Structure 1
Amino acid sequence: MCHSCVAGGVHSGASRRSFARFLAAGAGLTVLAACTPEAPAGVALSSSSLAPSATSASPSPVAVPSVESTTAAAEPPAQVPASPSGALPRQFSLTDPASPWLVVNKHRPLAPADYLPADLVQPNVPLAVSGEAALLNSTTAAAAEAMFAAAALDGVSMTLASGYRSYGTQVATYNGYVAARGLADADTASARPGYSEHQTGWSFDIGDGGGACGFQPCFADQPAAVWAKANGHRFGFVVRYPWMFHPITGYYYEPWHLRYIGVETAADMANRGISTVEEYFGVEAAPGYP
């Protein structure tokens, strides 16, 4: 999720606010479609051959997620069905930040709040950021490398636009939103510290290789977003905040925000047509902070 993205040092809050006002005014919006390294030299690969096999993972003010697009269409119910995940042969913790099945949202903070992944690495993918924002945990990094390479083979260029974000960075970012916009508005644009998936190393934001529509609703129509939405599950990724499921996830559509949950799990979600991890794992909806 963007959740107060600061990629390249430029906040995207203004564009989100103006978009929200546009929608609030009653204007219509076409529904958004649902983010590269080169393949190794001398190796003939197809994008499908790069999909990794099912894998398990190695093991005051506050900050919140970003607002993207909404529409006047009817919102989905916030009820979450019983978990279908029992069909999978492997089970992981839903609360351990080192688990690929971790569910963090506005009702489920990280524990500890200042969690720091032990295995942060910089993936070998095109970067639009530097420093901590270019890092992911080692499992996510390996999956991202495979996914970016497969996208490149299909002629789609994408960049890593925002990866790991430390607790301290999230504190500073969120407090900046509070100072500029007030607490209530900040909570619609930035994750509270200790509530951001970016802090886990399991999530990152993608950008289009040409830099088009970064962290804007129009990104959903860019090749990187379209490709990731259609193919991400082959590499263990889901679009964490899908279109029109904000009553469940707590965040508006973020076509750039990908979350690693494992190949088997992501494929199972796709095959079952389940859109959110809350629904898949049977945890309560989290439209707002308690």
Structure 2
Amino acid sequence: MCHEDADGAFGRQSASPDSPSRRAFSRLLLAGTGLAALSACTPAQPFTPSGTPGSTPEPTPGTGGATPTAAAAPSNSPASTPSAPPTPATSSAVPPSATARPPSATAPGPKHSLSDPTSPWVIVNKHRPLSPATFVPPDLVRPAVRLATSGEAALLNSTTAAAAERMFAAAAAEGVIITLASGYRSFATQTATYGSYVNSRGRAEADTASARPGYSEHQTGWAFDIGDGSGADAFTPQFKDRPAAIWAKANAHRFGFVVRYPWMLHQITGYFYEPWHLRFIGIEAATDMKSRGIGTLEQYFGLEAAPAYL
């Protein structure tokens, strides 16, 4: 599980990118629509939360106010192939045309590559695999934060690690404990995880639950999953109501992070709402996205939507 073997270490350590870990997955269902949730970063063993789901989150701008209730998928039973996800109610959820000037063109601060995996603006989605596919960040370190994982999953690239340290410390100063639940994931780990889904459920269903090798943001070192200090509701829809998720949604931009897979924008990102998955893009860009109410990196950088693999 992404949240097991917490060692509570707070000292940053250099680490080899080959450290073993196992990426975890869970399946989510949107009860209001009967759709299986796509999840880029969920536990390998199905996780059924105790209690009832929390209140539904506020919709991200451009969703038309739709707020279906989400629930965790039943454990130990293959899910049926989901029907096509609903189209967001308003056209504002559609990313700008590739020929239009994207919002990022007027963003403050330096500009970066969208394809270089060492760039904080690299875009990895179902239309844009990493190049090279087996990329390994050259500067992986273990950040000095509270951990809820171990091995390679406790690593981030050095820039993301430093920003995470500042963010976790700021949250703690306000009485909110955030944990690092899953960070770097190697190509080999992703290959094994995705392959197990294909072998048990077939490729079509595997694509709704697991990123293909070379298509995961976790492999870049720029993204990680957070947990709450209580350990409750990890990788479930209810996590949105935990103090860590609430604080991160309101404050992550101050440290250069965005919630990568926002509410009801799955037809753009390819993944349903993941309030635990943060992505570093830099303070200027993250703050600019926040102030403009832009929900996805695809919209911000003027890229096409990537709801499914090409």
| Number of corresponding residues | 246
**In 1: Cα distance, 2:211 partner to 2:137 partner:** 18
Quote how far apart the aligned CAs of 1:101 are. 0.6
Does the residue aligned with 2:274 lie in a helix, a strand or coil? coil
- 1:174 paired residue among 177, 194, 200: 194
Q: For residue 10 of structure 1, report the CA deviation from its aligned partner.
A: 8.5
Alpha-carbon distance in 2 for matches of 1:10, 1:174: 10
Shift of 1:255: 0.2
| 1:54 equivalent in structure 2 | none
1:30: how far off? 4.3
1:237 is aligned, of 251, 254, 257, to 257
Aligned pair in 2 of structure 1 residues 228, 215: CA closer, same or farther (>3 Å)? same
CA contact (8 A) 2:260 2:279 kept: yes
State the secondary structure of the residue aligned to 2:95: coil
User: Residue type of the partner of 1:241?
Assistant: Y
* Structure 2 CA distance for partners of 1:228 and 1:29, relative to 1, 3 Å: closer
Tell me: CA distance 1:154–1:201, structure 2 relative to 1, closer, same or farther (3 Å): same
Q: Percent identity?
A: 61
- Residue of structure 1 equivalent to 2:135: 115
Match in the other structure for 2:34: 24
Aligned to 1:51: none
Q: Are residues 1:94 and 2:114 paired?
A: yes
Q: What per-residue deviation string (whole Å, max 9, x for no partner) do you get for residues 227-276 of structure 1?
A: 00000000000000000000110100000000000001100111111111
RMSD of aligned alpha carbons: 2.3
Confirm or deny: 8 A CA contact 2:23 2:193 kept in the other structure: no
| Superposition deviation, residue 287 in structure 1 | 0.6
Residue 132 and residue 181 in structure 1: after superposition, are their counterparts in 2 closer, same or farther (change >3 A)? same
- Structure with bigger strand share is 2
CA distance in 1, matches of 2:183, 2:58: 23
Partner of 1:84: 103
Tell me the SS of whatever aligns to 2:278.
strand
Alignment match, 1:130: 150
Name whichever structure is richer in helix by fraction. Answer: 1
CA drift of 1:74 comes to 4.3
Contact 2:256–2:284 (CA<8 Å) still a contact in 1?
yes
Matching residue of 1:143: 163
2:227 partner SS: strand
Contact kept? 1:93, 1:101, Cα under 8 Å: yes
Structure 1, unmatched stretches of 5+, are 35-69
User: Counterpart of 1:208?
Assistant: 228
Structure 2 CA distance, aligned partners of 1:153 and 1:170?
35
- 1-structure distance, mates of 2:146, 2:245: 15
Counterpart AA for 2:288: D
Distance 1:204 1:173 in 2: 17
CA 1:32–1:181 in 2, change beyond 3 Å: closer, same or farther?
farther
1:190 paired residue number = 210
Measure the CA separation in 2 of the matches of 1:195 and 1:233. Answer: 24
1:262 equivalent in structure 2: 282
Cα distance change of structure 1 residues 217 and 73 upon mapping to structure 2, 3 Å threshold: farther
